[in-house]
Amino acid sequence: MVTGKLSNELLEKIVLKYITHKRDDIIAGAAVGVDNALVDFGDEVAILSTDPITGALKDIGKIAVHVSCNDVSTSGGTPIGLLLTILAPPENTYEDIETIMKDAGETAKRLDVEIIGGHTEITDAVNKIVISTTVIGKIKKDKLQTVNNIKVGDKILMTKTTAIEGTSILLNDLESYFNNKMDINMIEEGKGYGKYLSVLEEGRIGGKTGINYMHDITEGGVLGAVWEAQNAINKGIKIYKDAIPVTDVTKEVCKILDINPLRLISSGSMLMIANDEQLSILESEFKKKDIQLSVIGEVIEEGIFMLDNGELQDIEAPKADELYIALSKFK
């Protein structure tokens, strides 16, 4: 098997096809391109999502909290609680677990999210620490997004820059490798990208503006997120490669490791779809918060393409994230 989350094709073939029982109080369940489950509780809706952290070694407590809470923000909701499971091999120390919980606790406090339970276990079933988090959020039912309102010509947007999380993980976990290959200032800049991992503010602004689709850019990078979005909205998407923001640090990391930044895990960036009126509001609101917002494409009738140097290329379904490809070179 290939390292990384299952491809969407395999997900459909061996996982989703067996999820057949449906309930009337489940508004949204398991599906490709959908970040959250939505459960009807009358005037309010519960938002639930779960994520593992398997690719990082450092700052995993902080990353785990951010990644889960980001999912809730894509529905325009507010995260309120988090269940956190830690599986650690016997060669790790209790101090390692304490460090993870310290980081997770501090991050949760900053986001006003309570860690309400979980499970902690030492086991030889894993060869490094694995964290899994399940987040619980809420939103008023009348504030829920609907992809049915998305129209041809609506704009595809992304916040911040590409591969924020992947750049941070690689430079933190492989710092000694990069020390004689990159300028020290670039290394320190990239190591600090972890402070940009939250998209709660983007979700809050997007929800308030009433846009119809948000998707945090995680495994599979920007191209993977665009592919999943196209499946979720049942329309086509065309993006423009030269409009996708990539920092010089990320470009250098990816050049050295020979990986594609557009396929590198990008927690910290939000993909959005907005009409022209909503775009004008978003641009104003994001400017106030000093959050970079880029128009990278548009909704079309059908198909999924990227324009690169005048050539229209098909965007393929996401496979193993470039993070795992990079890390496999050091095993």
pTM greater than 0.85: yes
Position 170 scores a pLDDT of 96
The pLDDT value recorded for residue 298 is 98
At 126 the pLDDT is 94
At 249 the three-state DSSP class reads helix
* Residue range 312-329: mean pLDDT, rounded: 92
| Residue extent(s) of CATH 3.90.650.10 domains in the chain | 147-328
Q: Are strands 311-314 and 37-41 parallel, antiparallel or unpaired?
A: unpaired
- pLDDT of res. 2: 77
Looking at domain 8-143, which of 3.30.1330.10, 3.20.80.10, 3.60.20.10, 3.40.50.2300 is its CATH number? 3.30.1330.10
Average pLDDT of the residues in 19-23: 95
- Tens of pLDDT, residues 76-110: 999 999 999 999 999 999 999 999 999 999 999 99
Give the distance, in angstroms, between the CA of residue 51 and the centroid of all CA atoms in the same chain. Answer: 10
At residue 32, does pLDDT exceed 90? no
Q: Which of 231, 187, 206 is nearest to 31 (CA)?
A: 231
Check whether 4 has a pLDDT greater than 90.
no
| Burial (CB count <10 Å: 0-12, 13-18, 19+), residue 51 | buried
Q: Selecting from 3.30.2090.10, 3.90.650.10, 1.20.1630.10, 3.30.428.10, what CATH number does the domain 147-328 have?
A: 3.90.650.10
Residue 164: band (very low, low, confident or very high) from pLDDT cuts 50, 70, 90: very high
- The CA distances from residue 30 to 7, 41, 164, in Å, are 15, 18, 27
pLDDT of residue 108: 97
pLDDT (0 to 100) of residue 7: 83
In this prediction, residues 18-45 reach a mean pLDDT of 93
pLDDT of residue 20: 95
**In the predicted model, what is the mean pLDDT of residues 28-34?**
85
pLDDT over 80 at 220, yes or no: yes
59, 214, 304, 152 alpha-carbon torsion, rounded to 10°: -160
Q: What per-residue confidence (pLDDT) applies to 275?
A: 96
Question: In the prediction, which pLDDT does 54 show?
Answer: 86
**DSSP for 148-198, written as a single string:** GG--TTPEEEEES-TTHHHHHHHHHHTHHHHTTTS-HHHHHHHHGGGGG--
**Higher local confidence (pLDDT), 57 or 234:** 234
Taking the CA atoms of residue 209, residue 115, residue 217 and residue 32 in that order, the dihedral angle to the nearest 10 degrees is -90
CATH 3.30.1330.10 domain span(s) along the chain: 8-143
Q: How many CA atoms are closer than 13 Å to the CA of 265, on its beta-carbon side? A: 26
pLDDT > 90 in the chain, percent: 87
* Mean pLDDT, range 5-34, rounded to an integer: 90
Is the pLDDT at 50 greater than 90, yes or no? yes
> Is residue 132 over pLDDT 80?
yes
- Judged against a pLDDT cut of 80, whether residue 57 lies above it is answered with no
- Number of neighbouring beta carbons within 10 Å of residue 173: 19
Whole-number mean pLDDT of the chain?
Answer: 94
Tell me the mean pLDDT in the region 246-256: 98
Mean pLDDT of 161-175: 96
Lowest mean pLDDT segment, chosen from 81-85, 144-148, 238-242, 248-252: 144-148
Q: Mean pLDDT over residues 145-173, rounded?
A: 95
Asked whether residue 251 carries a pLDDT value surpassing 90, the answer given is yes
Residue 3 is predicted with a pLDDT of 78
